[in-house]
């Protein structure tokens, strides 16, 4: 009897330790290099800090987004910047060789995405909603939606083994109101890592300090020093927590911690893929229990 109890204790302890040490695999998908960074960069830092694996995917190589440089020369710059950003975030960064401004939700790109999600053995996949001003963003969302079920279908992309479980698919927060506004089902407090996020995002120099300021007509306002650029970028890209996101923070962190959060990233549960319950969300977002 004593032997059986000891054996039971060993087995239980092993299983519990394995569960505690389970590594989560997170995939964040954007249309361009820097999209994943902006939408879920702070959350990615949190995952990596807890020992989990994060993959950022850009479905295009960013070869159109500049006012002076373009084509292959720009793609090389954007890929190098994404690689540097990946180092700063602590994530793996994959840039696919599809043309910027020409992304279509076709079978070729869908199969690329299905294979990546399978190879990463994803537990969570985060992408954009299908409502956006940019056609690449809209089509990126359609591609993620179209892959959501197919990742478990063996005869689709049969060269890459299908997932045994369907991941949870999430939409990242956006500002668009039609046909319906973003719903913050999950919110992550990133107040303590926001400076690291800004530093990592700043690796995309050609995007944030050249192209986007040129589009906005504010190129002359970009500070000349690295320190000045970081502060400028933070003021431009870090926003106050919206009331709906604040309520989500309170739901997951409790009243005290939720109200203290100054910066957050929020996510909406997609109707495709696994539908998580409260326990699933706490398991898949362990930083919510900190």
Q: Report pLDDT for 290.
A: 78
Q: Does any domain span residue 110? A: yes
Query: Is residue 133 in some structural domain?
Result: yes
pLDDT digits (tens, 9 = 90+) for 191-226: 999 999 999 999 999 999 999 999 999 999 999 999
pLDDT digits (tens, 9 = 90+) for 224-282: 999 999 999 999 999 999 999 999 999 999 999 999 999 999 999 999 999 999 999 99
Q: Is residue 245 part of a domain?
A: no
Number of domains the chain is built from: 1
Going by C-alpha positions, the residue among 236, 122, 231, 239 that lies closest to residue 173 is 239
For residue 127, is it within any domain?
A: yes
Residue 274 lies in domain: 24-188+265-289
**d(C-alpha 290, C-alpha 250), whole Å:** 13
- % of the chain surpassing 90 pLDDT: 92
From residue 74, how far is each of 64, 100, 211, 224 by CA, in Å?
A: 7, 10, 11, 22
Residue 9 has pLDDT above 70, yes or no: no
Per-residue pLDDT at 182? 97
Number of residues assigned to the chain: 290
* Predicted pLDDT of residue 116: 98
Give Cα separations from 77 to 34, 66, 69, 103, 221 (angstroms).
13, 11, 10, 19, 23
The model's confidence at residue 1, banded by pLDDT at 50, 70 and 90, is very low
Residue 189 has a pLDDT of 98
Query: pLDDT, tens digit, for every residue of 12-67?
Result: 333 333 344 589 999 999 999 999 999 999 999 999 999 999 999 999 999 999 99
Q: Is residue 19 part of a domain?
A: no
Q: What's CA 1's distance to the chain center, in Å?
A: 51
- Mean pLDDT for all residues in the chain: 93
Burial of 83 (0-12, 13-18, 19+ CB in 10 A): middle
What is the predicted pLDDT for the residue at 21?
59
Q: What is the C-alpha to C-alpha distance for residues 160 and 42, in angstroms, rounded to an integer?
A: 30
Of 189 and 15, the structure prediction assigns the larger pLDDT to 189
Percent share of the chain, pLDDT over 70: 93
User: Would you place residue 285 in the very low, low, confident or very high pLDDT band (cuts 50, 70, 90)?
Assistant: very high
> What's the average model confidence in pLDDT over 123-128?
98
Which run of H or of E encompasses 24? Answer: none
Residue 131 forms part of a structural domain: yes
- Give the global pTM: 0.92
Chain Cα centroid distance, residue 86: 12
Answer whether the bond into residue 179 is a cis peptide, omega within 30°: yes
- State the pLDDT at residue 127: 98
Handedness of CA 42, 44, 46, 48 (dihedral sign): negative
CATH number at residue 40: 3.40.50.10320
Q: Is 278 a member of any domain?
A: yes
Residue 165 lies inside a defined structural domain of this protein: yes
In this predicted model, what pLDDT tens digit does every residue of 67-105 receive, in sequence order?
Answer: 999 999 999 999 999 999 999 999 999 999 999 999 999
């Amino acid at each position: 009897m004593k032997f059986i109890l000891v054996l039971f204790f060993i087995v239980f302890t092993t299983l519990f330790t394995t569960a505690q040490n389970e590594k989560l695999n997170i995939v964040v998908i954007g249309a361009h290099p820097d999209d994943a960074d902006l939408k879920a960069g702070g959350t990615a830092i949190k995952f990596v800090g807890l020992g989990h694996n994060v993959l950022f995917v850009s479905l295009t190589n960013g070869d159109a987004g500049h006012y002076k440089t373009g084509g292959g020369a720009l793609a090389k710059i954007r890929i190098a910047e994404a690689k540097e950003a990946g180092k700063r975030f602590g994530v793996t960064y994959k840039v696919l060789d599809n043309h910027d401004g020409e992304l279509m939700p076709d079978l070729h790109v869908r199969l690329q995405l299905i294979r990546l999600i399978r190879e990463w053995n994803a537990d969570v996949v985060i992408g954009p909603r299908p409502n956006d001003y940019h056609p690449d963003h809209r089509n990126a969302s359609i591609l993620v939606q179209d892959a959501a079920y197919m990742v478990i279908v063996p005869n689709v992309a049969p060269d890459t083994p299908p997932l045994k479980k369907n991941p949870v698919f999430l939409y990242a927060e956006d500002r668009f109101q039609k046909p319906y506004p973003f719903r913050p089902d999950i919110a992550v407090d990133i107040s303590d890592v926001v400076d690291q996020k800004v530093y990592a995002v700043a690796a995309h120099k050609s995007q944030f300090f050249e192209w986007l300021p040129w589009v906005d007509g504010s190129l002359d306002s970009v500070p000349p020093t690295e320190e000045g650029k970081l502060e400028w970028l933070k003021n431009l890209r870090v926003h106050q927590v919206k009331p709906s996101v604040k309520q989500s923070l309170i739901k997951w962190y409790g009243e005290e911690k939720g109200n203290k959060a100054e910066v957050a990233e929020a996510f909406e549960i997609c109707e495709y893929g696994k539908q998580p319950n409260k326990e699933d969300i706490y398991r898949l977002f362990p930083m919510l229990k900190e």
